[in-house]
Amino acid sequence: MLYQIFESQRSIMEPFSDLAQAAAKLYSNPLNPMAQTPLAQRVSAGYALMHRLGKDYVKPEFGIQTVKVNKTEVAIHERIEIDKPFCELRRFKRFSDDPATLTLLKAQPVVLIVAPLSGHYATLLRDTVRTMLQDHKVYITDWKNARLVPLTDGEFHLDDYVNYVQEFIRHLQSIYGHCHVVSVCQPTVPVLAAVSLMASRGEKIPLTMTMMGGPIDARKSPTSVNNLATNKSFEWFENNVIYRVPANFPGAGRRVYPGFLQYTGFVAMNPDRHATSHYDYFKDLIKGDDVSTEAHRKFYDEYNAVLDMDADYYLETIQTVFQDFKLVNGTWDVKGVDGKIERVRPQDIQGTALLTVEGELDDISGSGQTRAAQDLCTGVPVSERQHLEVPGAGHYGIFSGRRWRDIVYPQLVQFIQNHAPQAKATAPSAKTAAKSPVKKALKAPVAKTTAKSAAATPEKAASKTAVKTAAQTATKSPAKVLPNKAVKTTWVEAKKKA
Protein backbone atom coordinates (compact mmCIF):
# COMPACT_ATOMS: atom_id res chain seq x y z
CA MET A 1 0.00 0.00 0.00
CA LEU A 2 2.87 2.38 0.80
CA TYR A 3 4.25 2.01 -2.72
CA GLN A 4 0.89 3.01 -4.23
CA ILE A 5 0.68 6.04 -1.92
CA PHE A 6 4.17 7.13 -2.92
CA GLU A 7 3.41 6.79 -6.63
CA SER A 8 0.19 8.77 -6.22
CA GLN A 9 2.08 11.53 -4.44
CA ARG A 10 4.76 11.56 -7.13
CA SER A 11 2.16 11.81 -9.87
CA ILE A 12 0.47 14.73 -8.10
CA MET A 13 3.78 16.55 -7.56
CA GLU A 14 5.06 16.10 -11.11
CA PRO A 15 3.06 18.96 -12.76
CA PHE A 16 3.94 21.31 -9.88
CA SER A 17 7.61 20.45 -10.34
CA ASP A 18 7.32 21.27 -14.04
CA LEU A 19 5.60 24.57 -13.24
CA ALA A 20 8.37 25.43 -10.78
CA GLN A 21 10.95 24.83 -13.50
CA ALA A 22 9.06 27.09 -15.90
CA ALA A 23 8.75 29.81 -13.24
CA ALA A 24 12.49 29.60 -12.51
CA LYS A 25 13.25 30.18 -16.18
CA LEU A 26 10.70 32.98 -16.37
CA TYR A 27 12.26 34.97 -13.52
CA SER A 28 15.80 34.42 -14.83
CA ASN A 29 15.08 35.38 -18.45
CA PRO A 30 16.75 38.78 -19.15
CA LEU A 31 14.02 39.61 -21.69
CA ASN A 32 11.36 39.42 -18.99
CA PRO A 33 10.82 42.79 -17.19
CA MET A 34 10.11 40.93 -13.94
CA ALA A 35 13.62 39.48 -14.06
CA GLN A 36 14.95 43.01 -13.43
CA THR A 37 13.22 43.39 -10.09
CA PRO A 38 15.34 43.21 -6.88
CA LEU A 39 14.03 39.82 -5.71
CA ALA A 40 13.91 38.14 -9.12
CA GLN A 41 17.08 36.10 -8.59
CA ARG A 42 15.89 34.81 -5.23
CA VAL A 43 12.47 33.91 -6.62
CA SER A 44 14.07 32.12 -9.57
CA ALA A 45 16.46 30.24 -7.28
CA GLY A 46 13.60 29.20 -5.00
CA TYR A 47 11.58 27.81 -7.88
CA ALA A 48 14.66 26.02 -9.26
CA LEU A 49 15.25 24.36 -5.89
CA MET A 50 11.57 23.41 -5.68
CA HIS A 51 11.85 21.76 -9.09
CA ARG A 52 14.93 19.77 -8.02
CA LEU A 53 13.24 18.55 -4.84
CA GLY A 54 10.02 17.53 -6.55
CA LYS A 55 11.15 16.07 -9.89
CA ASP A 56 11.35 12.38 -10.71
CA TYR A 57 14.90 11.14 -11.30
CA VAL A 58 15.34 8.54 -14.02
CA LYS A 59 18.29 6.28 -14.72
CA PRO A 60 21.28 8.41 -15.83
CA GLU A 61 23.45 7.60 -18.82
CA PHE A 62 27.13 6.78 -18.65
CA GLY A 63 27.71 9.40 -21.33
CA ILE A 64 31.32 8.41 -21.99
CA GLN A 65 31.98 9.47 -25.57
CA THR A 66 35.79 9.56 -25.69
CA VAL A 67 38.82 8.84 -23.50
CA LYS A 68 42.50 9.54 -23.91
CA VAL A 69 44.84 6.57 -24.31
CA ASN A 70 48.48 7.68 -24.27
CA LYS A 71 47.41 11.22 -25.22
CA THR A 72 45.38 9.94 -28.19
CA GLU A 73 41.64 10.58 -28.24
CA VAL A 74 39.76 7.28 -28.56
CA ALA A 75 36.06 6.98 -29.39
CA ILE A 76 33.81 4.91 -27.11
CA HIS A 77 30.86 2.88 -28.29
CA GLU A 78 28.62 1.58 -25.52
CA ARG A 79 26.75 -1.63 -26.26
CA ILE A 80 25.00 -4.53 -24.52
CA GLU A 81 26.99 -7.75 -24.73
CA ILE A 82 24.63 -10.04 -22.77
CA ASP A 83 21.04 -9.24 -21.83
CA LYS A 84 19.76 -11.16 -18.80
CA PRO A 85 16.35 -10.68 -17.15
CA PHE A 86 17.82 -8.67 -14.25
CA CYS A 87 21.14 -7.46 -15.64
CA GLU A 88 22.92 -6.33 -18.78
CA LEU A 89 26.59 -6.99 -19.39
CA ARG A 90 27.60 -3.67 -20.90
CA ARG A 91 30.75 -3.19 -22.93
CA PHE A 92 32.58 0.06 -23.66
CA LYS A 93 34.15 -0.66 -27.02
CA ARG A 94 37.10 1.61 -27.91
CA PHE A 95 37.82 2.69 -31.50
CA SER A 96 40.81 4.45 -33.06
CA ASP A 97 42.11 5.02 -36.59
CA ASP A 98 45.70 5.35 -35.34
CA PRO A 99 47.54 2.03 -36.04
CA ALA A 100 49.85 2.29 -33.03
CA THR A 101 46.98 3.11 -30.68
CA LEU A 102 44.84 0.34 -32.12
CA THR A 103 47.63 -2.17 -31.53
CA LEU A 104 47.92 -1.00 -27.94
CA LEU A 105 44.18 -1.22 -27.36
CA LYS A 106 44.05 -4.80 -28.61
CA ALA A 107 46.86 -5.87 -26.29
CA GLN A 108 45.48 -4.32 -23.09
CA PRO A 109 43.88 -6.58 -20.44
CA VAL A 110 40.14 -7.05 -20.11
CA VAL A 111 38.39 -6.09 -16.87
CA LEU A 112 34.93 -7.01 -15.63
CA ILE A 113 33.65 -4.35 -13.22
CA VAL A 114 30.89 -5.78 -11.05
CA ALA A 115 28.73 -2.84 -9.99
CA PRO A 116 26.72 -2.90 -6.76
CA LEU A 117 23.06 -3.84 -6.71
CA SER A 118 22.25 -1.84 -3.59
CA GLY A 119 20.00 1.03 -4.57
CA HIS A 120 21.85 3.08 -7.17
CA TYR A 121 22.44 2.32 -10.83
CA ALA A 122 25.75 1.17 -12.26
CA THR A 123 26.28 4.70 -13.57
CA LEU A 124 27.46 5.52 -10.05
CA LEU A 125 30.74 3.98 -11.24
CA ARG A 126 31.00 6.31 -14.24
CA ASP A 127 34.30 7.75 -13.00
CA THR A 128 35.61 4.24 -12.37
CA VAL A 129 34.78 3.17 -15.91
CA ARG A 130 36.12 6.32 -17.56
CA THR A 131 39.45 6.03 -15.74
CA MET A 132 39.91 2.32 -16.39
CA LEU A 133 39.21 2.73 -20.10
CA GLN A 134 42.60 4.41 -20.43
CA ASP A 135 44.40 1.10 -19.90
CA HIS A 136 41.83 -1.70 -20.19
CA LYS A 137 39.01 -3.26 -22.15
CA VAL A 138 36.08 -2.59 -19.82
CA TYR A 139 32.83 -4.45 -19.21
CA ILE A 140 30.36 -3.67 -16.41
CA THR A 141 27.29 -5.28 -14.88
CA ASP A 142 24.37 -2.89 -15.40
CA TRP A 143 21.62 -4.08 -13.05
CA LYS A 144 17.99 -3.50 -14.02
CA ASN A 145 15.27 -1.86 -11.99
CA ALA A 146 13.20 -4.76 -10.63
CA ARG A 147 9.94 -2.86 -11.10
CA LEU A 148 10.56 -2.98 -14.85
CA VAL A 149 11.08 -6.77 -14.92
CA PRO A 150 7.83 -8.69 -15.65
CA LEU A 151 6.81 -11.47 -13.29
CA THR A 152 7.10 -13.88 -16.21
CA ASP A 153 10.89 -13.50 -16.00
CA GLY A 154 10.86 -15.25 -12.63
CA GLU A 155 12.45 -14.40 -9.31
CA PHE A 156 15.93 -13.16 -8.56
CA HIS A 157 17.92 -14.60 -5.66
CA LEU A 158 21.40 -14.05 -4.28
CA ASP A 159 22.30 -17.39 -5.88
CA ASP A 160 21.26 -15.97 -9.26
CA TYR A 161 23.58 -13.01 -8.70
CA VAL A 162 26.47 -15.42 -8.14
CA ASN A 163 25.51 -17.41 -11.24
CA TYR A 164 25.33 -14.22 -13.34
CA VAL A 165 28.88 -13.28 -12.33
CA GLN A 166 30.16 -16.73 -13.24
CA GLU A 167 28.47 -16.57 -16.63
CA PHE A 168 30.00 -13.17 -17.37
CA ILE A 169 33.47 -14.36 -16.37
CA ARG A 170 33.19 -17.41 -18.62
CA HIS A 171 31.98 -15.21 -21.47
CA LEU A 172 35.02 -12.94 -21.27
CA GLN A 173 37.37 -15.88 -20.94
CA SER A 174 35.87 -17.49 -24.02
CA ILE A 175 36.70 -14.34 -26.01
CA TYR A 176 40.04 -13.25 -24.56
CA GLY A 177 41.30 -16.37 -22.79
CA HIS A 178 41.48 -14.52 -19.46
CA CYS A 179 40.01 -11.62 -17.49
CA HIS A 180 40.39 -9.52 -14.35
CA VAL A 181 37.52 -8.79 -11.95
CA VAL A 182 36.94 -5.58 -9.98
CA SER A 183 34.04 -5.53 -7.49
CA VAL A 184 32.88 -2.40 -5.70
CA CYS A 185 31.02 -2.51 -2.38
CA GLN A 186 28.15 -5.01 -2.20
CA PRO A 187 29.32 -7.38 -5.01
CA THR A 188 32.57 -8.23 -3.22
CA VAL A 189 30.68 -11.02 -1.44
CA PRO A 190 28.96 -12.67 -4.45
CA VAL A 191 32.09 -12.18 -6.60
CA LEU A 192 34.23 -13.99 -4.03
CA ALA A 193 31.61 -16.73 -3.93
CA ALA A 194 31.50 -17.00 -7.73
CA VAL A 195 35.27 -17.31 -8.10
CA SER A 196 35.42 -19.74 -5.16
CA LEU A 197 32.86 -22.05 -6.74
CA MET A 198 34.65 -21.95 -10.09
CA ALA A 199 37.94 -22.79 -8.35
CA SER A 200 36.36 -25.69 -6.45
CA ARG A 201 35.13 -27.15 -9.74
CA GLY A 202 38.53 -26.77 -11.35
CA GLU A 203 37.34 -24.13 -13.81
CA LYS A 204 39.56 -21.39 -15.14
CA ILE A 205 39.34 -18.38 -12.84
CA PRO A 206 40.25 -14.68 -13.27
CA LEU A 207 43.88 -13.61 -13.16
CA THR A 208 43.14 -11.05 -10.44
CA MET A 209 40.35 -10.08 -8.05
CA THR A 210 40.13 -6.52 -6.76
CA MET A 211 37.67 -5.94 -3.91
CA MET A 212 36.85 -2.39 -2.91
CA GLY A 213 34.90 -1.32 0.17
CA GLY A 214 32.76 -4.43 0.58
CA PRO A 215 31.20 -6.27 3.57
CA ILE A 216 33.22 -9.48 3.35
CA ASP A 217 33.12 -9.71 7.15
CA ALA A 218 30.44 -7.32 8.39
CA ARG A 219 31.30 -8.10 12.02
CA LYS A 220 34.42 -5.93 11.83
CA SER A 221 34.05 -2.21 12.63
CA PRO A 222 30.25 -2.30 12.22
CA THR A 223 28.67 0.81 10.72
CA SER A 224 25.11 2.10 10.94
CA VAL A 225 24.26 -0.06 7.94
CA ASN A 226 25.54 -3.18 9.72
CA ASN A 227 23.83 -2.24 12.99
CA LEU A 228 20.45 -1.88 11.32
CA ALA A 229 20.77 -5.34 9.75
CA THR A 230 21.78 -6.97 13.03
CA ASN A 231 19.36 -5.15 15.34
CA LYS A 232 16.30 -6.03 13.27
CA SER A 233 15.10 -9.56 12.62
CA PHE A 234 14.69 -11.14 9.20
CA GLU A 235 10.93 -11.04 9.71
CA TRP A 236 11.06 -7.30 10.46
CA PHE A 237 12.67 -6.58 7.09
CA GLU A 238 10.20 -8.82 5.29
CA ASN A 239 7.19 -7.17 6.95
CA ASN A 240 8.32 -3.52 6.89
CA VAL A 241 10.38 -2.81 3.76
CA ILE A 242 9.01 -5.22 1.17
CA TYR A 243 6.16 -4.04 -1.08
CA ARG A 244 4.59 -5.03 -4.37
CA VAL A 245 5.13 -3.00 -7.53
CA PRO A 246 2.01 -0.97 -8.52
CA ALA A 247 0.03 -1.77 -11.63
CA ASN A 248 1.46 1.05 -13.78
CA PHE A 249 4.86 -0.67 -14.18
CA PRO A 250 5.91 -3.71 -16.26
CA GLY A 251 6.85 -5.57 -13.05
CA ALA A 252 3.43 -5.09 -11.49
CA GLY A 253 2.94 -7.47 -8.57
CA ARG A 254 6.63 -8.23 -8.03
CA ARG A 255 7.80 -8.11 -4.42
CA VAL A 256 10.60 -5.53 -4.12
CA TYR A 257 12.55 -3.37 -1.74
CA PRO A 258 11.48 -0.01 -3.27
CA GLY A 259 14.05 2.52 -4.35
CA PHE A 260 12.32 5.40 -2.57
CA LEU A 261 12.75 3.60 0.77
CA GLN A 262 16.42 3.04 0.04
CA TYR A 263 16.82 6.71 -0.85
CA THR A 264 15.18 7.70 2.42
CA GLY A 265 17.73 5.56 4.23
CA PHE A 266 20.62 7.15 2.33
CA VAL A 267 19.49 10.67 3.23
CA ALA A 268 18.75 9.70 6.85
CA MET A 269 22.42 8.75 7.33
CA ASN A 270 23.55 12.37 6.77
CA PRO A 271 20.47 14.68 6.75
CA ASP A 272 22.40 17.79 7.78
CA ARG A 273 24.89 17.37 4.96
CA HIS A 274 22.13 17.12 2.35
CA ALA A 275 20.22 20.09 3.76
CA THR A 276 23.39 22.19 3.68
CA SER A 277 24.12 21.07 0.13
CA HIS A 278 20.68 22.16 -1.10
CA TYR A 279 20.93 25.51 0.69
CA ASP A 280 24.35 26.09 -0.87
CA TYR A 281 22.77 25.31 -4.25
CA PHE A 282 20.15 28.00 -3.58
CA LYS A 283 22.83 30.56 -2.68
CA ASP A 284 24.96 29.62 -5.72
CA LEU A 285 21.96 30.21 -7.98
CA ILE A 286 21.53 33.67 -6.53
CA LYS A 287 25.24 34.44 -7.01
CA GLY A 288 25.19 33.06 -10.55
CA ASP A 289 27.90 30.48 -9.76
CA ASP A 290 27.26 28.20 -12.75
CA VAL A 291 30.17 25.85 -11.96
CA SER A 292 28.97 25.04 -8.45
CA THR A 293 25.32 24.71 -9.44
CA GLU A 294 26.15 22.36 -12.30
CA ALA A 295 28.29 20.21 -9.99
CA HIS A 296 25.33 20.01 -7.57
CA ARG A 297 22.96 18.97 -10.36
CA LYS A 298 25.29 16.26 -11.66
CA PHE A 299 25.80 14.78 -8.21
CA TYR A 300 22.13 14.68 -7.26
CA ASP A 301 20.98 13.52 -10.69
CA GLU A 302 23.02 10.41 -9.89
CA TYR A 303 22.39 10.21 -6.16
CA ASN A 304 18.62 10.64 -6.40
CA ALA A 305 18.20 8.03 -9.14
CA VAL A 306 17.46 4.74 -7.38
CA LEU A 307 16.13 1.36 -8.43
CA ASP A 308 13.96 -1.31 -6.83
CA MET A 309 15.60 -4.58 -5.76
CA ASP A 310 13.89 -7.94 -5.96
CA ALA A 311 12.72 -8.93 -2.48
CA ASP A 312 14.25 -12.41 -2.50
CA TYR A 313 17.69 -11.08 -3.39
CA TYR A 314 17.54 -8.30 -0.81
CA LEU A 315 16.32 -10.47 2.07
CA GLU A 316 18.82 -13.23 1.33
CA THR A 317 21.64 -10.67 1.27
CA ILE A 318 20.57 -9.34 4.68
CA GLN A 319 20.51 -12.83 6.13
CA THR A 320 23.62 -14.25 4.44
CA VAL A 321 25.95 -11.26 4.72
CA PHE A 322 24.81 -9.21 7.71
CA GLN A 323 23.08 -11.62 10.06
CA ASP A 324 24.46 -15.15 9.66
CA PHE A 325 27.89 -14.16 8.21
CA LYS A 326 27.80 -17.33 6.15
CA LEU A 327 30.81 -16.48 3.99
CA VAL A 328 33.27 -16.03 6.86
CA ASN A 329 31.71 -18.87 8.86
CA GLY A 330 32.07 -21.28 5.94
CA THR A 331 28.37 -22.19 5.90
CA TRP A 332 27.23 -20.60 2.63
CA ASP A 333 25.70 -22.97 0.08
CA VAL A 334 24.81 -21.73 -3.40
CA LYS A 335 22.44 -23.32 -5.91
CA GLY A 336 23.87 -23.41 -9.43
CA VAL A 337 21.94 -23.06 -12.68
CA ASP A 338 21.81 -26.88 -12.81
CA GLY A 339 20.14 -27.01 -9.39
CA LYS A 340 23.20 -28.45 -7.67
CA ILE A 341 24.00 -27.14 -4.19
CA GLU A 342 27.67 -26.28 -3.62
CA ARG A 343 29.55 -24.95 -0.58
CA VAL A 344 31.48 -21.69 -1.02
CA ARG A 345 35.16 -22.34 -0.20
CA PRO A 346 37.42 -19.28 -0.73
CA GLN A 347 40.40 -21.35 0.38
CA ASP A 348 40.15 -23.28 -2.91
CA ILE A 349 41.14 -20.21 -4.93
CA GLN A 350 44.62 -20.61 -6.40
CA GLY A 351 46.26 -18.76 -9.26
CA THR A 352 44.24 -15.58 -8.76
CA ALA A 353 45.98 -12.55 -7.24
CA LEU A 354 43.99 -10.59 -4.65
CA LEU A 355 43.89 -6.84 -3.99
CA THR A 356 41.65 -5.37 -1.29
CA VAL A 357 40.99 -1.63 -0.97
CA GLU A 358 39.45 0.24 1.96
CA GLY A 359 38.78 3.89 2.76
CA GLU A 360 39.90 5.20 6.13
CA LEU A 361 36.62 7.07 6.67
CA ASP A 362 34.26 4.58 5.06
CA ASP A 363 30.94 4.79 6.92
CA ILE A 364 29.27 2.01 4.93
CA SER A 365 31.84 -0.81 4.94
CA GLY A 366 33.94 -0.33 8.05
CA SER A 367 37.68 -0.81 8.42
CA GLY A 368 38.71 -4.45 8.12
CA GLN A 369 35.54 -5.69 6.45
CA THR A 370 37.07 -5.89 2.99
CA ARG A 371 40.51 -6.88 4.19
CA ALA A 372 38.92 -10.01 5.68
CA ALA A 373 39.14 -11.54 2.20
CA GLN A 374 42.91 -11.80 2.77
CA ASP A 375 42.29 -14.26 5.60
CA LEU A 376 39.71 -16.28 3.69
CA CYS A 377 41.76 -16.79 0.50
CA THR A 378 44.46 -18.89 2.14
CA GLY A 379 45.15 -20.74 -1.12
CA VAL A 380 46.45 -17.52 -2.69
CA PRO A 381 50.19 -17.14 -1.99
CA VAL A 382 51.18 -14.36 0.39
CA SER A 383 53.13 -12.68 -2.40
CA GLU A 384 49.94 -12.51 -4.47
CA ARG A 385 47.84 -10.78 -1.79
CA GLN A 386 47.91 -7.00 -1.41
CA HIS A 387 45.96 -4.47 0.63
CA LEU A 388 45.54 -0.72 0.26
CA GLU A 389 44.00 1.65 2.80
CA VAL A 390 43.35 5.16 1.55
CA PRO A 391 43.53 7.85 4.25
CA GLY A 392 40.90 10.54 4.20
CA ALA A 393 38.72 8.56 1.78
CA GLY A 394 35.10 7.76 2.46
CA HIS A 395 33.11 5.01 0.77
CA TYR A 396 32.72 6.78 -2.57
CA GLY A 397 36.23 8.19 -2.52
CA ILE A 398 37.87 4.84 -3.21
CA PHE A 399 36.19 4.45 -6.60
CA SER A 400 35.30 8.00 -7.63
CA GLY A 401 36.94 11.40 -7.44
CA ARG A 402 40.44 12.67 -6.78
CA ARG A 403 41.60 9.99 -4.36
CA TRP A 404 40.41 7.26 -6.71
CA ARG A 405 42.28 8.77 -9.66
CA ASP A 406 45.42 9.83 -7.79
CA ILE A 407 45.90 7.03 -5.25
CA VAL A 408 43.82 3.94 -5.90
CA TYR A 409 43.86 3.66 -9.68
CA PRO A 410 47.67 3.95 -10.20
CA GLN A 411 48.15 1.01 -7.85
CA LEU A 412 45.24 -0.93 -9.33
CA VAL A 413 46.51 -0.54 -12.90
CA GLN A 414 50.00 -1.64 -11.82
CA PHE A 415 48.54 -4.63 -9.97
CA ILE A 416 46.64 -5.75 -13.07
CA GLN A 417 49.63 -5.15 -15.35
CA ASN A 418 51.84 -7.25 -13.10
CA HIS A 419 49.50 -10.17 -13.69
CA ALA A 420 48.62 -9.53 -17.34
CA PRO A 421 49.75 -12.26 -19.76
CA GLN A 422 50.98 -9.61 -22.22
CA ALA A 423 52.59 -7.08 -19.90
CA LYS A 424 54.99 -5.75 -22.55
CA ALA A 425 52.22 -4.64 -24.85
CA THR A 426 50.01 -3.29 -22.08
CA ALA A 427 52.28 -1.07 -20.03
CA PRO A 428 50.19 1.55 -18.18
CA SER A 429 49.96 4.99 -19.66
CA ALA A 430 52.32 7.59 -18.28
CA LYS A 431 49.48 9.76 -17.02
CA THR A 432 47.84 7.11 -14.84
CA ALA A 433 50.90 5.24 -13.66
CA ALA A 434 52.80 8.34 -12.58
CA LYS A 435 50.79 8.84 -9.39
CA SER A 436 51.15 6.03 -6.88
CA PRO A 437 52.33 7.16 -3.44
CA VAL A 438 53.59 4.36 -1.22
CA LYS A 439 54.43 5.26 2.34
CA LYS A 440 53.72 2.76 5.07
CA ALA A 441 53.08 -0.98 5.18
CA LEU A 442 50.18 -2.36 7.16
CA LYS A 443 50.45 -5.35 9.43
CA ALA A 444 49.36 -8.16 7.17
CA PRO A 445 50.74 -11.47 5.88
CA VAL A 446 52.36 -9.65 2.98
CA ALA A 447 55.77 -8.12 2.37
CA LYS A 448 56.98 -4.57 1.56
CA THR A 449 58.05 -3.16 -1.76
CA THR A 450 60.46 -0.24 -2.02
CA ALA A 451 61.53 1.82 -4.97
CA LYS A 452 64.79 -0.12 -5.10
CA SER A 453 63.14 -3.51 -5.18
CA ALA A 454 60.54 -2.29 -7.66
CA ALA A 455 63.31 -1.34 -10.06
CA ALA A 456 65.55 -4.32 -9.36
CA THR A 457 63.01 -7.11 -9.44
CA PRO A 458 60.31 -6.23 -11.98
CA GLU A 459 58.04 -8.68 -13.64
CA LYS A 460 59.93 -10.48 -16.40
CA ALA A 461 57.31 -9.43 -18.90
CA ALA A 462 57.14 -5.77 -17.85
CA SER A 463 58.54 -3.17 -20.17
CA LYS A 464 61.37 -0.74 -19.30
CA THR A 465 58.83 2.06 -19.19
CA ALA A 466 56.72 0.23 -16.62
CA VAL A 467 59.81 -0.45 -14.46
CA LYS A 468 60.82 3.24 -14.53
CA THR A 469 57.24 4.22 -13.67
CA ALA A 470 57.17 1.80 -10.73
CA ALA A 471 60.35 3.30 -9.29
CA GLN A 472 59.03 6.85 -9.67
CA THR A 473 55.69 5.79 -8.20
CA ALA A 474 57.15 4.26 -5.07
CA THR A 475 59.28 7.29 -4.25
CA LYS A 476 56.80 10.07 -5.02
CA SER A 477 55.87 12.18 -1.98
CA PRO A 478 52.28 11.53 -0.90
CA ALA A 479 52.07 15.14 0.24
CA LYS A 480 51.58 16.12 -3.40
CA VAL A 481 48.42 14.07 -3.46
CA LEU A 482 47.08 14.51 0.06
CA PRO A 483 48.75 17.28 2.13
CA ASN A 484 49.65 16.21 5.67
CA LYS A 485 48.36 12.70 5.00
CA ALA A 486 50.34 9.49 4.80
CA VAL A 487 49.06 6.78 2.50
CA LYS A 488 48.83 3.48 4.28
CA THR A 489 49.39 0.61 1.91
CA THR A 490 50.57 -2.93 1.65
CA TRP A 491 51.96 -3.31 -1.86
CA VAL A 492 53.89 -6.37 -3.03
CA GLU A 493 55.32 -7.04 -6.50
CA ALA A 494 54.09 -10.45 -7.60
CA LYS A 495 56.59 -13.30 -8.05
CA LYS A 496 59.79 -11.44 -7.09
CA LYS A 497 62.64 -13.06 -8.99
CA ALA A 498 66.00 -11.79 -10.07
Angle between helices 409-418 and 464-475 in degrees, nearest 10: 140
Q: Are 105 and 77 in contact (CB under 8 A)?
A: no
Give me the sign of the Cα torsion angle 469, 470, 472, 478: positive
CA distance 307 to 11: 18
Predicted pLDDT of residue 32: 87
CA distance 311 to 315: 6
The dotted CATH code for 66-229+310-429 is: 3.40.50.1820
Q: Are 378 and 330 in contact (CB under 8 A)?
A: no
Going from the C-alpha of 168 to that of each of 26, 175, 215, 473, 480, the distances in angstroms are 50, 11, 22, 33, 39
Provide the 10 A C-beta neighbour count for residue 269.
13
Q: Residue 79 is which amino acid?
A: R
With CA atoms as reference, report the closest residue to 189 among 319, 362, 88: 319
Q: List per-residue pLDDT tens for the chain, 498 residues long.
A: 788 888 888 889 999 999 999 999 999 998 888 888 889 999 999 999 999 999 989 999 999 999 999 889 999 999 999 999 999 999 999 999 999 999 999 999 999 999 999 889 999 999 999 999 999 999 999 999 999 999 999 999 999 999 999 999 999 999 999 999 999 999 999 999 999 999 999 999 999 999 999 999 999 998 888 888 888 999 999 999 999 999 989 999 999 999 999 888 888 878 999 999 999 999 999 999 999 999 999 999 999 999 999 999 999 999 999 999 999 999 999 999 999 999 999 999 999 999 999 999 998 999 999 999 999 999 999 999 999 999 999 999 999 999 999 999 999 999 999 998 754 344 444 344 444 443 333 334 443 333 333 333 333 333 444 434 444 443 333 333 333 333 334 333 333 333
Provide the 10 A C-beta neighbour count for residue 279.
11
Which residues make beta-bridge pairs with 184?
Answer: 212
Q: Which residues of 435-454 are buried (b: 16+ CB within 10 A; e: fewer)?
A: bbbbeebeebebeebeeebb
Predicted pLDDT of residue 422: 56
Predicted pLDDT of residue 445: 43
CB contact set of 219 (below 8 Å; sequence gap of 6+): 226, 325, 328
Extents of the domains making up the chain: 2-56+259-307, 66-229+310-429
Q: Is 318 exposed, middle or buried, given 0-12, 13-18 or 19+ CB atoms closer than 10 A?
A: buried
